[in-house]
Chain A
């Protein structure tokens, strides 16, 4: 996806569908409110759409979106502070300020993994989650599921191969 390929409705839809979910989850990490995070990301995309004619992106669309979402989140925090309805301490703002694009990449990958895992066999998905997300070793998984270690290795390999293909097809994940 090129830098400014979001001006047509078709390109904008692609962009929205690629980044909406990881952005919501990224924002939610700091705001810890899923609905508010969703509103923040919606506002981000709305701004992008409203100003699509004027915006000239010099970096990547992913970085631009990430930065826009962060700014919208910070605006939201400031507004909440003014309203004094939410107890957001300054450390949240600092954490948001300190976040980097690689952190956002992790959410993109997680989003891709979540969607990719829907299309792999249940057994493979379970083994992969135990290994990569629950942190269990191959031996522990083999013992837990009463299967061979080789079977664990095979299933993790199947999911990784599937994931690599999905990630490779992502427009600008590693830009």
Chain B
């Protein structure tokens, strides 16, 4: 019989054995030490606790920092991913922003815009090419960075395009503030129907009789650049491609009122002179007069169906 078996045998001979709650006994002992030796060191493993606590604090702090870094990176990533680039390569298109504003983009236009304006300080858009904006009123300013200018609005409709003669802006309704990126003090405010040309740091009045200007800005009132797409600069009419007019302006921007008959055929590149500030019915009548379309009444009072011209129907 080895020592283990011998002890086990003796162990079995113990008649009475009380199991104790050793943790409770240890706590009772610590309390007793406190009472009997108030000035002595308490036999508590607590001296190691501050160390453990400090380690835990370090871990907690590190974890908090990591979480903050993660949140920062995540939000940064979100911010980055929140913005998208879009290039209109084939035909004109309309995009609707999350605030309800719509942007009719002409062919070859490039735009960078946020999918959401949540946590944004402004509705900030970067545009290249031609576009017509219909901006919904919102507490956030709507800013379009276009080449060397910023166009700032709260809610309005305006057209923005660029050609060899510089940047052309036409304000359709509301007010638009246009400023130079290099010098924000160099700005003008456009009223409805105001048109403006910007080139080489200079704002040039077009059809507008008066431009609110800063004292340090000089305007060339007499030098009016001629825009290729809008030769008749003193009228409210503009030249539009028939494709854009039908696909973007009628089929998308006015889709609630206008339906396009699939049989309608037209030359997309054909340039049409029109004033888009006219009522929708007048615009349609103008197109009808030019023999491009015909109009049939739609389901509602102000609804129209654009069909091929009568001679083609026949």
Stretch from B40-48, B105-113, B249-257 contacting the other chain: B40-48
Contacts of A109 in B (CB 8 A): 7-8, 10-11
Give Cα A46 to B26, complex, Å: 12
The answer to whether the Cβ of B32 comes within 8 Å of any Cβ in the partner chain is yes
- Using Cβ atoms and an 8 Å threshold, which residues of chain B touch A38? 25
A164 x B10 contact (CB < 8 A): no
Given A16-B26, A20-B25, A25:B11 Cβ within 8 A: no
A81 to B8, CA, bound (A): 35
A132 to B12, CA, bound (A): 6
| A105/B26 contact (C-beta < 8 A), A46-B33, A50-B37 known | no
Count, A-B residue pairs, CB within 8 A: 91
Q: Please tell me if the beta carbons of B4 and A106 are within 8 angstroms of each other in the complex.
A: no
A43 to B44, CA, bound (A): 17
Distance in angstroms between the alpha carbons of A49 and B29 in the assembled complex = 11
Cα separation A99 to B19 with both chains bound (whole Å): 22
Task: Judge whether A28 and B16 touch: CB under 8 Å.
Answer: yes
List, in ascending order, chain B residues with CB within 8 A of A28's CB. Answer: 16, 18
B202 to chain A, nearest CB (A): 82
- B20 adjacent to chain A (CB < 8 Å): yes
Offer 26 A-B interface pairs, CB within 8 angstroms, sorted by A.
A9-B43, A9-B45, A9-B46, A13-B43, A13-B44, A16-B26, A16-B29, A17-B22, A20-B20, A20-B22, A21-B19, A21-B20, A28-B16, A46-B36, A49-B33, A102-B6, A103-B10, A106-B7, A106-B10, A106-B11, A107-B14, A107-B17, A109-B7, A111-B17, A114-B17, A133-B12
Contact between chains at A113 and B43 (CB < 8 Å):
no
Q: Is B299 an interface residue (CB 8 A)?
A: no
Within 8 A of B (CB), among A1-40: 8-10, 12-13, 16-17, 20-21, 24-25, 28-29, 34, 38
Contacts of B22 in A (CB 8 A): 17, 20-21
Task: Give B contacts to A, CB under 8 Å.
Answer: 3-4, 6-8, 10-14, 16-20, 22, 25-26, 28-29, 32-33, 36-37, 40-48
- The complex places the Cα of A173 from the Cα of B65 at a distance, in Å, of 48
Verify B11–A110 contact, CB threshold 8 A: yes
Contacts of B48 in A (CB 8 A): 9-10
Given contacts A46-B32, A50-B40, 20 further A-B contacts (CB under 8 A): A9-B47, A12-B43, A13-B44, A16-B25, A17-B26, A21-B25, A24-B18, A25-B14, A25-B18, A29-B16, A42-B28, A42-B29, A46-B33, A50-B37, A109-B8, A109-B10, A109-B11, A114-B17, A132-B12, A174-B3
Question: With the chains together, A52 CA to B41 CA distance in Å?
Answer: 11
Chain B residue at smallest Cβ distance from A12: B43
Q: Which of A50, A110, A164 contacts B14 (CB 8 A)?
A: A110
Q: Nearest-CB distance from A9 to chain B (Å)?
A: 5
Nearest CB in chain A to that of B16: its residue: A28
Q: Kindly provide the distance from the CB of B34 to the nearest chain A CB, expressed in whole angstroms.
A: 12
Nearest to B20 among chain A residues (CB) is A21
CB within 8 Å for A114 and B40 given contacts A10-B45, A46-B32, A167-B4: no
Q: A13-B43, A42-B29 are in contact. Are A114 and B19 (CB under 8 A)?
A: yes
A140-B206 Cα distance, complex, nearest whole Å: 116
Q: Return chain B residues, CB-CB under 8 Å to A102.
A: 6-7, 10
In angstroms, Cα B149 to Cα A38, docked, is: 90
Contact A110 B29 (CB under 8 A): no
In angstroms, how far is the closest chain B Cβ from the Cβ of A21? Answer: 5
